[in-house]
């Protein structure tokens, strides 16, 4: 038998139309412990009337599911979050955080960055290949650009984890980032940082990136010197260009 924890009558009509058909009763129950998991259990509500008789109503069924067996789920000897995420029942019955051993999460290493420079107005898409990145999804990664004391946040467009990756054998990931506009005015060479969180375990990796001037239109000659030379005179000419990288 379930325990009724609350009974609340709610009017669902406007004040001008209140009547017996407008009242809805919200009943909250505490489901009992049953030893027949994975079965649908009918819910029957009974109410004693003023005459002492019982009225009966049938509510939607409850479905019980098996509690998580964490010894089996996590494999207590070598719990591996990257392998467990491919188990379809995991999200329904078990919490990954119980299977994470922080000591098993290795330091991430950047294997390649392409490209390593881009426009100062931002929008450059950077592909980053990383070994042992502690992240399952792009939402686990924060992308920050530092220029001295100035900080700006970029976008993590996607994260792809290679099939078969594990904490024991190694995790291979590819990140696609989008740079923000150049955060400061002093340096074109900046440090870009990824802050990663895997169920409470934090890691940080960084790489260098160069912001290039955003150039449009043809180059121009600002000045050159000397402006007059003799026909037979070998001289070096200094030329200063504008709108030229």
What does 117-161 look like in DSSP terms, one character per residue? EEETTS--EEEEEEES---SSGGGEEEEEEETTEEEE-EEEEEEE
Q: What is the average pLDDT value for the chain, to the nearest integer? A: 79
Tokens at residue 191, please?
């440090």
Rounded to whole angstroms, the Cα distance separating 178 from 198 reads: 22
- pLDDT tens digits for 1-15? 778 888 887 777 666
pTM greater than 0.75: no
pLDDT at 92 over 70: no
DSSP letter string over 223-245?
EEE-S---TT-----EEEEES--
The separation between CA 16 and the C-alpha centre of its own chain, rounded to angstroms, equals 49
β-strands 201-212, 117-119 pairing: parallel
Specify the higher pLDDT residue, 128 or 78: 128
- pLDDT tens digits for 196-208? 887 677 889 999 9
| For the ranges 33-47, 182-196, 228-242, the one whose mean pLDDT is highest | 182-196
The separation between CA 190 and the C-alpha centre of its own chain, rounded to angstroms, equals 24
């Amino acid at each position: 038998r379930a325990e009724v924890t609350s009974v609340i009558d709610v009017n669902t009509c406007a004040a001008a139309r209140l009547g017996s058909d407008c009242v809805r009763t919200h009943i909250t129950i505490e489901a009992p412990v049953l030893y027949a998991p994975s079965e649908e259990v009918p819910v029957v509500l009974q109410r004693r009337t003023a005459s002492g008789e019982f009225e009966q109503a049938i509510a939607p069924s409850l479905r019980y599911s098996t509690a998580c067996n964490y010894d089996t789920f996590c494999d207590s000897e070598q719990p591996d979050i990257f392998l467990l995420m491919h188990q379809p029942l995991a999200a329904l019955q078990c919490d990954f955080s119980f299977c994470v051993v922080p000591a098993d999460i290795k330091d991430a290493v950047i294997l390649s960055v392409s490209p390593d420079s881009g426009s100062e107005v931002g929008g450059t898409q950077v592909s980053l290949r990383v070994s042992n990145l502690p992240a399952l999804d792009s939402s686990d990664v924060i992308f920050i650009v530092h220029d001295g004391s100035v900080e700006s946040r970029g976008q993590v467009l996607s994260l792809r984890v290679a099939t078969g990756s594990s904490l024991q054998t190694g995790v291979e990931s590819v990140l696609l980032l989008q740079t923000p506009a150049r955060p400061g005015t002093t340096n074109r060479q900046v440090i870009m940082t990824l802050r990663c969180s895997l169920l409470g375990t934090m890691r940080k990796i960084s790489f260098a990136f160069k912001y290039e001037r955003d150039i449009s239109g043809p180059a121009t000659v600002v000045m050159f010197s000397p402006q007059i030379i003799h026909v037979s005179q070998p001289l070096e000419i200094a030329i200063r260009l504008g709108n030229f990288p």
